Chains A and B, each alone.
Chain A
Amino acid sequence: MGFYPTLLLGITLSYDISVEEESRLSRLTAFVGIAIGAVLIVVTGIYLVATANPSRAGKKVIRWVVDPNPIRKEQIKLFEKRHPDIEIINDPGADAQRLLTQLAGDVPPDVMALYDPQTIRLFAKNDVLLDLGPYVQKYKIPVDKLYPSLEPYIKYRGKIVGIPENCGPYVVFYNKKLFRDAGIPYPKPGWTWDECLEAAKKLTKYRIVRGRKIPVQKGIFISDGDWWFFIWMYGGRLFSKDGKRCLMDSEAVKKGIRFWADLRLKHHVMPTSSEAQSMAPTGAWGSSALLFRESKVAMTVSGRWLCIQYREQKDLDWDVVSMPHGPIRFTLLASKSYSIPKTCRNKEAAITFIKHLLSKENQLLVANYGDGIPSVQDPEISKAFLYNPQYPNERNNKLHLDEMRYARVQEFSPYINNLDVSAIISVELDKMWLKQQTPDQACEAIAKRINAIIRRNIANPNFLN
């Protein structure tokens, strides 16, 4: 009908009315302005659409969904040099919502990064990930050379669903200068918690300001989320072997949590969160690394990746040592996996890429950047990793390799989602830190709540997906 053309006419006419009080000149300039604007937009649109798909003739393109670390560009360059017929897009959107929506809508990435074993398990259980088993022989992917402790990141029910390119056993970073100033000898690998506590006490200093005791330096910093060290400290476990019970209220675990609580609340060698904030204000994405960088904390616990930040601090004299141990020696292992969705459109190219990630050059590229250690147990790679000429004062790379002997991946149970576990533990431990309950009470509350959820999930498997 004539409705819509009339509408368009009406729009232009309405403009006519609204400026009827202004001079003819300004009306003209306004008209011209709008016309130019419209033309510009149309031209922009045409340009954008025309250049939206640069021709990639003859090349297979695969999409690599992973965080946008500066090293990714190097990795892509390295791969494309070797395989000129494949082009890789670094897609930084690993957000859970995006990943899931795209997978659900059948627009899968070709290679995606998954950051914890339970997510991998969840995807694998729902048959989303490609089983690389049949391709291992054909493409000669050195899966058997990966560290055995990385298995939760690699296998699910015998199928190979993920390939980690790096991993990081947790170690202690310590500030050599602060140790020297306090007259304490440097810690040696294999040292105990008692030795560590002694050193931390000597490394904690205060200053009196207007009658208030303000911390200037603290001995050690362990993130609130690293409860695994203390759960396992005296031989305890979070879950029973079959995953059906939570053992948080066992005496061994309680002892470990008590020790942790004392570090902060009794010995005061670990800063509270507000003390940490005041010594070195952290940004929105809590860079607890800042405390160590500013030499406000003498020791900190993390995987090797924080060395990336510490290297930036030129006046920081740091080194690494193993995690202090109690009756048993162990440390936490963190990693991430690259997986290929089953519905991937470019399987061969993707598998070629994944295989390349385990190659010597790529492994060394990532490891030298500082993001963990190579995941491939190869004497050649290990030897090359030991000494990085770019950072000559990092002489202790061997320690990270040695620690793999004791490294364990975090526990999880098939009967409860990791997110629920984290939510419960962090809330109850928060109450403990706020002194609203004792460590023992926190452990009992955690066990009770987790067991209740496990019972519910066993009765109604719909919750487990």
Chain B
Amino acid sequence: MSARQREALAAYAFLMPNFLGFLAFTSIPVVISLIMAFSHWNIFKPPSWVGIENFRNLLWFHHEGKRIVANDPFFWQYVYNTVYLMAGIPIGMAGSLLVALMMNQKLRGIVVFRTIYFLPSVCSGVALLILWKYLYNADIGLINKSLRLAGGVIYSHPAIAIPFTIFCALLFGVTVVGIIAVLLVLVQWLSAKIGLEWQEGAYRVLMVIAGAAVFISIGIYSRYFYETLSSFFFSPPDWLGTVQWAKPSLILMGLWGGLGGYNMILYLAALQGVPTSYYEAAEIDGAGPWAKFWAVTWPMISPTTFFILVMSIIAGFQGGFMTANVMTGGGPAGSTTTIEYYLYQTAFEKFNMGYASAIAWFLFAVILILTLITWKLGGKVVIYE
């Protein structure tokens, strides 16, 4: 037997227990659900093949008089909700990485901190939802109470109010410029992939233009800015009760929970895999902490980053069920209902298993495409030894 063959045989042996279970309990049901997506099956009668009708009813449009109307009147709103709620993923990942870096320090009592930060993941989900509902309450919730208190203090004297507004305006402007900067970097990198190289200094020029535009417009609208800000403090919004703020509130809640949770632990474990010798080498080359991070840490934990990103995408598309059910009841005007809830309803309360499978496989297709994009784009970034 050649070495290659021995290696393959060993691989099969290692794989076998896992693979058997995979075959029996995962792949067969998945294939069945794929077939169901092309059938009409109400669970109690045998399924009948309908081809792509389920997908057409789910995703396609038809004419109604002069207008073009979606075939499924509910689905697209839920898709919008679900995607919106996933907006926090990059911030969440960055946050967990930050916390993991902090937790990695050899401080005394760091074990206590790690445990405390992990507590929310361990606590009863219902308890968390109840508490956040309290927090977000428009009249007696802690957030609004603090905002009103701060507003009372700040806006009682123009001497405090004006510098504060300027400070907020600057903060706002810097954030917007920062976002534009990141977007431009992304665009530049993407175009480099396609083959369009940017001119030297083009980036810098664009940034200057953007920065000027942002700050000038802030200046022009300064009065409007001041008024909006003060009314925000005096009568803070009803977080869970208005359509605009319901989803951002949920995103914030998710971010907080994720800070000490699974992703942080994963990053912590990944950080252990970076040999200290690499750091020492970087230091010898004269790198400061920022450079050390980008040159050593970031590439070495990139496999984990890829993992967390893919898992977050999967979880994001398949999530939001408990929150909608227990905390917001689907939200003001259906703004916090997600696809997963619709899927559950369709399958188990309307007995429409075929249609539900179609929804599931649509989700699958979307996640697959996103993962492939991440894989291909990240191909150069994810480094394996």
A122, A273, A277, A419 — which one has the most chain B CB atoms within 10 A of its CB? Answer: A277
A127, A281, A282 — which one has the most chain B CB atoms within 10 A of its CB? Answer: A281
In the complex, chain A residues whose CB is within 8 Å of the CB of B348: 96-97, 99-100
Asked if A449 CB lies within 8 Å of chain B CBs, one says: yes
Given the interface contacts A277-B139, A278-B137, does A430 sit within 8 Å of B333 by beta carbon? yes
Q: Which of B64, B140, B333, B351 contacts A465 (CB 8 A)?
A: B351
Asked if A126 CB lies within 8 Å of chain B CBs, one says: yes
Asked if A41 CB lies within 8 Å of chain B CBs, one says: no
In the complex, chain A residues whose CB is within 8 Å of the CB of B64: 452
In the complex, chain A residues whose CB is within 8 Å of the CB of B74: 420, 423
Q: Which of A100, A281, A465 contacts B137 (CB 8 A)?
A: A281
Distance of B69 from chain A, by nearest CB (Å): 8
In the complex, chain A residues whose CB is within 8 Å of the CB of B133: 277, 281-284
For A423, the closest partner residue in chain B by CB is B74
Question: Would you call B241 and A273 a contact (CB within 8 A)?
Answer: yes
Asked if B40 CB lies within 8 Å of chain A CBs, one says: yes
In the complex, chain B residues whose CB is within 8 Å of the CB of A103: 43-44
In the bound assembly, the distance between CA atoms of A22 and B344 in angstroms comes to 52
Asked if B195 CB lies within 8 Å of chain A CBs, one says: no
Asked if A275 CB lies within 8 Å of chain B CBs, one says: yes
Asked if B146 CB lies within 8 Å of chain A CBs, one says: no
Asked if A128 CB lies within 8 Å of chain B CBs, one says: yes
Asked if A3 CB lies within 8 Å of chain B CBs, one says: yes
In the bound assembly, the distance between CA atoms of A4 and B352 in angstroms comes to 45
Chain B contacts with A in 97-156, Cβ cutoff 8 A = 126, 129-130, 133-134, 137-140
Question: Would you call B139 and A419 a contact (CB within 8 A)?
Answer: no
Question: Would you call A285 and B326 a contact (CB within 8 A)?
Answer: yes
Question: Would you call A427 and B351 a contact (CB within 8 A)?
Answer: no
Question: Would you call A465 and B242 a contact (CB within 8 A)?
Answer: no
In the complex, chain B residues whose CB is within 8 Å of the CB of A1: 13
Asked if A417 CB lies within 8 Å of chain B CBs, one says: yes
Asked if A399 CB lies within 8 Å of chain B CBs, one says: no
Question: Would you call B326 and A122 a contact (CB within 8 A)?
Answer: no
Asked if B87 CB lies within 8 Å of chain A CBs, one says: no
Q: Which of A96, A286, A428, A436 contacts B349 (CB 8 A)?
A: A96
In the complex, chain B residues whose CB is within 8 Å of the CB of A222: none
Question: Would you call A284 and B139 a contact (CB within 8 A)?
Answer: no
Question: Would you call B332 and A274 a contact (CB within 8 A)?
Answer: no
Tally chain A residues at the interface, Cβ within 8 Å.
47
Distance of A210 from chain B, by nearest CB (Å): 8
For A453, the closest partner residue in chain B by CB is B73
Chain A contacts with B in 1-48, Cβ cutoff 8 A = 1, 3-4
Distance of B219 from chain A, by nearest CB (Å): 32
In the complex, chain A residues whose CB is within 8 Å of the CB of B243: 434
In the bound assembly, the distance between CA atoms of A111 and B141 in angstroms comes to 44
Asked if A463 CB lies within 8 Å of chain B CBs, one says: yes
In the complex, chain B residues whose CB is within 8 Å of the CB of A277: 133, 137-140
Per-residue CB proximity of A425-447 to B under 8 Å, as 1/0? 01110110010100000000000
In the bound assembly, the distance between CA atoms of A99 and B351 in angstroms comes to 11
Distance of A151 from chain B, by nearest CB (Å): 23
Given the interface contacts A126-B44, A430-B334, A453-B73, does A419 sit within 8 Å of B345 by beta carbon? yes
In the complex, chain A residues whose CB is within 8 Å of the CB of B13: 1, 3-4
Question: Would you call B44 and A278 a contact (CB within 8 A)?
Answer: no
Given the interface contacts A286-B329, A465-B351, does A275 sit within 8 Å of B53 by beta carbon? no
Per-residue CB proximity of A277-298 to B under 8 Å, as 1/0? 1100111111000000000000
Asked if A214 CB lies within 8 Å of chain B CBs, one says: yes
Distance of A424 from chain B, by nearest CB (Å): 8
Question: Would you call A427 and B138 a contact (CB within 8 A)?
Answer: no
Distance of A222 from chain B, by nearest CB (Å): 16
Question: Would you call A126 and B238 a contact (CB within 8 A)?
Answer: no
In the bound assembly, the distance between CA atoms of A453 and B72 in angstroms comes to 9
Asked if B45 CB lies within 8 Å of chain A CBs, one says: yes
Question: Would you call A126 and B138 a contact (CB within 8 A)?
Answer: no
Asked if B216 CB lies within 8 Å of chain A CBs, one says: no
In the bound assembly, the distance between CA atoms of A465 and B45 in angstroms comes to 10
In the bound assembly, the distance between CA atoms of A4 and B14 in angstroms comes to 9
For A460, the closest partner residue in chain B by CB is B57
Q: Which of B130, B137, B350 contacts A274 (CB 8 A)?
A: B137
In the bound assembly, the distance between CA atoms of A240 and B22 in angstroms comes to 52
Asked if A55 CB lies within 8 Å of chain B CBs, one says: no
In the bound assembly, the distance between CA atoms of A244 and B98 in angstroms comes to 58
In the bound assembly, the distance between CA atoms of A307 and B74 in angstroms comes to 37
In the complex, chain A residues whose CB is within 8 Å of the CB of B139: 214, 274-275, 277-278
Asked if A462 CB lies within 8 Å of chain B CBs, one says: yes
In the bound assembly, the distance between CA atoms of A436 and B238 in angstroms comes to 15
Chain A contacts with B in 447-465, Cβ cutoff 8 A = 449, 452-453, 456, 460, 462-463, 465
Q: Which of B42, B130, B137, B349 contacts A283 (CB 8 A)?
A: B130
Question: Would you call A284 and B242 a contact (CB within 8 A)?
Answer: no
Question: Would you call B126 and A427 a contact (CB within 8 A)?
Answer: no
Per-residue CB proximity of B311-351 to A under 8 Å, as 1/0? 00000000000000011011011100000000011011111
Question: Would you call A419 and B137 a contact (CB within 8 A)?
Answer: no
Given the interface contacts A3-B13, A284-B129, does A430 sit within 8 Å of B332 by beta carbon? yes
In the complex, chain B residues whose CB is within 8 Å of the CB of A286: 329
Chain A contacts with B in 36-95, Cβ cutoff 8 A = none
Asked if B366 CB lies within 8 Å of chain A CBs, one says: no
In the bound assembly, the distance between CA atoms of A465 and B347 in angstroms comes to 11
Asked if B269 CB lies within 8 Å of chain A CBs, one says: no
Asked if B50 CB lies within 8 Å of chain A CBs, one says: yes
Question: Would you call B351 and A449 a contact (CB within 8 A)?
Answer: no
Known: A96-B348, A103-B43. 7 other contacts (CB 8 A): A1-B13, A96-B349, A272-B241, A275-B139, A281-B137, A419-B345, A465-B351
Q: Closest 4 A-B residue pairs measured CB to CB?
A: A278-B139, A430-B333, A126-B44, A465-B42
- Interface CB pairs A-B, < 8 A, 29: A1-B13, A3-B13, A96-B344, A97-B344, A97-B347, A99-B348, A103-B43, A103-B44, A104-B43, A122-B350, A126-B42, A126-B43, A126-B45, A128-B44, A274-B138, A278-B138, A278-B139, A281-B134, A283-B130, A420-B74, A423-B74, A423-B330, A426-B334, A427-B334, A434-B243, A434-B333, A436-B333, A465-B350, A465-B352
Interfacial residues, chain B to chain A (CB-CB below 8 A): 10, 13, 40, 42-45, 50, 53, 57, 64, 69, 71, 73-74, 126, 129-130, 133-134, 137-140, 238, 241-243, 326-327, 329-330, 332-334, 344-345, 347-352, 355
